[in-house]
A and B are shown apart, each in its own frame.
Chain A
Amino acid sequence: MARRPAPGGATARRRWSSPALRRVALATALTLSGVVLAACSGGDTSGAPQLTWYINNQGQQPLAEACNEQAEGAYEIETSLLPTAAAGQREQLLRRLAAGDQTVDILSLDPPFMAEFANAEFLRPFTDEEREEFSEGVLDGPLEQSVFDDTMFSAPFYGNTQLLWYKKSVAEEAGLDPESEPVTWDQVIEAAEATGTTIGVQGRRDESLMVWVNALVESAGGSILSEESEGRPADEVQATIRDEAGQEAARIMSTIASSSVAPPGLSTAGEEESRAAFQADDGGFMVNWPYVWTAFEAAAKTGAVDEGFRDDVGWARYPQVVEGEASATPLGGIGLSVGAYSANPDAAVEAIRCLRSPESQKEYMLTVGDPGAAGEIYDDPEVQEAFPMYEAIREGLTDAAPRPISAFYGDVTGAIQQGYHPPDRLSADSTPQATADFIEAVLRNEKML
């Protein structure tokens, strides 16, 4: 290869000496400052033990502040916000706990994920005394989903349940009275068809779909996984969704999705889309969480709906699948857990004691709108006024059926979401069987998800 003199020669030299030096100096300065920044740990060494609470809703932060005041130096809670979607929250917490993160003191944990974390020993179990304390007065539903392997890993904070919402005018027209006697899904479908209205259901392929499927299956008397599957290793888990209950679920879902009662975009609709469909002129029925009650009010203020919209809205218990058999209401909520690697577990338990207290729950319910897990707050007149459907909520939380409590919940919900979506293409004959087989194959590592 020919070697030729550098272009420019002397000019090249002059062009690059001082600017080059300046650049080198700048780069060095920046690098050094970078190194200093990296070395800076910025730890707090003041008196009260620092606790970090990973919250899933910004509205939980005022509770932390209130408890900090009460604590008088026993602890100081700092909040850190997790992503909005449940799956994102799981991923974030999972990664941190897998890395042995000591700053994870308190977590707002979505109950279905509790079993997975507990099984992986990422959570500090509550002692028997603590369990007794945190169970007192708590409604059945939230309590059931905070226990795994006969140990409590999550202190129930708030529970959530879905109700059947309907426009009173529409129900009247259809000759249906959900308030006085429970209705079945088939009746609701019939009523909507007769009046030319829609049923707002969440058909989007995420956790909300799983909630719907689980509620339908449990209401039909079955379950997605067999009863004994809870503590079993992955290859011994049995999926019972292939039975009759799963078939009923598929039938109802496909009937709604492929008929005129389906709102547009059903297969990508979440809670907000369902609410929008219900608020539309042709909305007739909806299943959704109680937060919508305050949301209707806000919508009336911005003009999205008429002033008197809320007066026409009625609520009732979640629809039955089998006539005469009480429905298994959907269950959501959040529990407070202590991270297994926390540097201050005792302080964390102390903090949780304050955060999940009935007063704290009531405050949260009134500000954010998520129903508390303690039964007594439903007797409070303030709560009763803000939530006229308090009786239905309390009932719903008591009779609720949690989603499968399984250490492999992530895979189970993924498999269900794949099998039971899109809702308009389900078949009662093939879908439940195929999905059950799929769940088992995935857990036995014979198929990928």
Chain B
Amino acid sequence: MSTTVPAAAGEVREEVPRADGRRQDDRPRRMTDRARKERNLGWLLVGPAFIVMLAVTAYPIANAAWYSLFDFRLTDPDARSFVGLGNYMTILTDILFWRQFGVTAAITVVTVAVEFVLGFALALVMHRALYLRKSVRTAILVPYGIITVVSAYAWQYAFTPAYGFVNPLFGSDLDWFGGTIPSLVVICLSEIWKTTPFMSLLLLAGLAQIPSTYIEAAKVDGATAWQRFRKVIVPNMKGAIMVALLFRTLDAFRIFDNVFIMTQGANGTETLSFLAYRQTITRVMIGLGSAVSVILAILVFLIAFMFIKGFKVNLAEQRGS
């Protein structure tokens, strides 16, 4: 607890404050030469990556925020006018936005929930099966690596009445892409199929770090499989679960590829990302589209924030330990 603990190379010495709150040696802090060199080297190495990441995202986002304050149609540049928060008013008072917010939220909740359950099941199988473990891991990496667009086409074609195999298999003639709910079902299926492996791998990693002694002890105490699951496995995986859920939720909320390929947003399947795309690229209403993008970004950050606060798990702890 004293300041005589030798500092590791390059670390700034940790000082214990005096009772009156001032420093031990009441001199202005100075970094050691080595510390300064390390800091400069650190900045130098990190610099390029940092700059690229910042520049390529900061500029477009600032740009989007700026344009969102204008009524700006690309094909009518002379009519561009400043409207302040006008675009935001238009969006937030339009039932179309709320409808699509609902669709996006529904897709998110459904896919994440199903993926979580399925992913857990997959993780358990991979954890416990003694044989075929390698084959399973290889197999589930295929959905992970496959292009989302390809997955979208595969599922779309499977459910199209004209040439799919699903309808003949179940003897139905439902027009899957003729209505909102059936279309959403297929979209969710494609999304779930493709990203469950990712979820299951994260959960598997969490599973693998539970000491087997805990489980053995629970077995000895006479706990059933379900009780072991609930009381030993899940609580010890909180970190992994949170990370998995957080990333998947944010991904699901931003869904775009599957919707674009399968329905082009028709039949009420349009999501928020697609709304932003359509306003900006198809209608070339740059101002309005930028406002939708900004709103979407804010929503995503809000979700991330709520998640992190809600789970009360320190992300930094997860990382640096």
Contacts and interface: CB of A to CB of B under 8 A. Distances in A.
Do these two chains really belong together in a complex?
Answer: yes
Interface string A402-418: 00000110110010000
Interface in A82-126: 87, 91, 94-95, 98, 116-117, 119-120, 122
Contact of B75 (A116, A233, A268, A447): A116
Contacts of B266: 205
B284 A98 contact: yes
Contacts of B20: none
Nearest to A91: B282
A95 B75 CA distance: 10
B172 interface: no
Contacts of B90: 445-448
Contacts of A87: 282
A410 B283 contact: yes
A234 B76 contact: yes
Contacts of B284: 94, 98, 410
A408 to B, nearest CB: 8
A21 interface: no
Contact of B76 (A94, A98, A407, A414): A407
Given A205-B266, A448-B288, A234 B79 contact: yes
Contacts of A6: none
Interface string B204-234: 0000000000000000000000000000000
B70 to A, nearest CB: 10
B71 interface: yes
B197 to A, nearest CB: 25
Interface string B279-292: 10111110010000
Contacts of B83: 445
Interface stretch (B91-99, B110-118, B163-171): B91-99
A119 B77 CA distance: 9
A449 interface: yes
A448 B96 contact: yes
Residues of A in contact with B, size category: 20 to 34
A26 B91 CA distance: 51
Interface string A224-262: 000000000110000000000000000000000000000
A91 to B, nearest CB: 6
A120 B77 contact: yes
A1 interface: yes
A448 B76 CA distance: 17
Contact of B285 (A205, A233, A407, A445): A445
A268 B76 contact: no
Interface in B53-101: 71, 73-77, 79, 83, 86-87, 90-91, 94, 96-97
A122 B284 CA distance: 14
A205 B86 CA distance: 30
Given A233-B79, A234-B79, A407-B76, A447 B71 contact: no
B17 interface: no
A119 B288 contact: no
Given A205-B266, A449-B283, A98 B74 contact: yes
Nearest to B86: A445
B97 A119 contact: no
B91 A445 contact: no
Nearest to B91: A448
Contact of B321 (A1, A98, A119): A1
B47 interface: no
Contacts of A411: 283
Contact of A119 (B76, B86, B275, B285): B76
A408 B76 CA distance: 9
Contacts of A268: 178
Interface string B283-314: 11100100000000000000000000000000
Contacts of B73: 234, 408
A328 B265 CA distance: 33
A163 B155 CA distance: 40
A447 B71 CA distance: 13
B75 A119 contact: yes
Interface string A385-417: 000000000000000000000011011001000
Nearest to B284: A94
Most buried by A among B90, B178, B266, B321: B90
A408 B87 CA distance: 18
A87 B284 CA distance: 13
B11 to A, nearest CB: 15
A-B complex: 7 closest residue pairs judged by Cβ atoms: A120-B75, A448-B94, A448-B96, A116-B75, A445-B71, A233-B79, A447-B94
28 contacts: A91-B282, A94-B75, A95-B281, A98-B74, A98-B75, A116-B75, A120-B77, A122-B75, A205-B266, A233-B76, A234-B73, A234-B76, A234-B79, A268-B178, A408-B76, A410-B283, A414-B283, A445-B71, A445-B83, A445-B90, A445-B285, A445-B288, A446-B90, A447-B90, A447-B94, A448-B94, A448-B279, A449-B283
Given A116-B75, A410-B283, A448-B94, 8 more contacts: A94-B75, A95-B281, A120-B76, A234-B73, A234-B76, A410-B284, A448-B90, A448-B288
